[in-house]
Structure 1
Amino acid sequence: MLSPNPAYIGALIDVVNSSPFPTHMRMQLIAIAFDHAVVSLKIDTCHFQPYGIVHGGVLATLIDTATFWAAYLRLPGDDGLVNIDLKLNYLKPAGEGMLTATGRCIRAGRSLSYAEAGVSDADGNLVAHGTSTLMALPGKGLAFKENKFLDD
């Protein structure tokens, strides 16, 4: 059985967290494992819409990101992934503190995967939930010197 290589996971988290879009959004990949990912974002004024609550696009971005990384480790080493469908529901306004998106891959396939994520506020209240269909992109994976997997 294959297991994630801790050196690869560390390098992956570093690359993701220093990439332009996550840096711009001020979000971070906190954890990634088979079928699971956690992404966080500390709410700042740049995340607000005119009514003083977090813009829905921020919540959608967190769901998109958490579902993506929840499915990622099931891919072969040289494959990438792209979101082809995102559905979500806004459940409660968010206004301050930390947001945490927890993603779970429900089904990992060779070409299509399906995942879900919930976004919770600092008090643990679910503020948004969504699902995503993701498509594998052969040969478009991230390249690291570390091996993606270790044998158990």
Structure 2
Amino acid sequence: MRRLNPEHVARVVALVNQGPYIQLLNMRVVELGWGSSLVTADLERKHHNPFGGVHGGTCTSLIDTAAFWSAYCQMAEDQGFITVDVNVNTLAAVKEGRLAARGRCLKMGRTLCLTEALVTDPEGRLVAHGTSKMVAVPELMNISQAVKAMGGQPLPPKFLD
């Protein structure tokens, strides 16, 4: 396992949390590690479906986000990846509070990656489970290119070794 640069990880977390979609859903990337992530969302009325429960798309977005970022630290420096699919199983209804999605990278290959995420409610009850596959695409904008396009300062190296 390669040694992650904590400064790189902190900068990436700060950048991700400034993303418009992340902010729209009140999501927040809390942790990034080797093969793991933690993403939370503070629920509001805007997350509800017409029947008063949280819309399934909220958990799907949490799963997609946690799954992707669980793989990020294992990806090669400046590798572009894109989600191929997301499969979600909704296991319980939820109406309020903070949801937490814990992502885990199950398999990192040269071009394909398999991840999963578990979403829990404030009481720790499992409310959704999902899996996601990602593919490496050389032509895809990587994180360093995205930072440059936004006019930001270059990121420090991802790895210390």
Flag whether TM exceeds 0.5 (same fold). Answer: yes
RMSD, aligned CA: 1.0
* CA offset digits 1:73-94 (Å, max 9, x no partner): 1111111211101111000001
- TM-score norm. by structure 1 comes to 0.96
**Any residues of structure 2 matched to 1:128-143 within 5 Å, and which?**
128-138=128-138, 140-143=141-144
Instruction: Give ranges in structure 2 of 5+ residues lacking alignment.
Output: 145-153
Aligned residues: 151
- Percent identity, please: 38
**Per-residue deviation at 1:24?**
1.1
Other structure's SS at 1:30 match? strand
Letter of the structure 1 residue corresponding to residue 9 of structure 2: I
**Per-residue deviation at 1:138?**
2.3
- TM-score norm. by structure 2 comes to 0.91
Query: Does residue 1:38 correspond to 2:48, yes or no?
Result: no
Contact conserved, 1:75 with 1:136, CA < 8 A, in 2? no
Match of 2:89 in 1: 89
Letter of the structure 2 residue corresponding to residue 142 of structure 1: I
Match of 2:2 in 1: 2
Query: Does residue 1:104 correspond to 2:104, yes or no?
Result: yes
Contact conserved, 2:44 with 2:96, CA < 8 A, in 1? yes
Instruction: Give ranges in structure 1 of 5+ residues lacking alignment.
Output: none
Q: Determine which structure has the larger strand proportion and give its number.
A: 1
Once residues 55 and 88 of structure 2 are traced to their aligned partners in structure 1, the CA distance between those partners, rounded to angstroms, is 14
Once residues 2 and 92 of structure 2 are traced to their aligned partners in structure 1, the CA distance between those partners, rounded to angstroms, is 39
Q: Which moved more, 1:141-150 or 1:84-93?
A: 141-150
Match of 1:14 in 2: 14
Query: Which aligned segments of 4 or more residues in structure 1 are displaced greater than 2 angstroms?
Result: 137-140
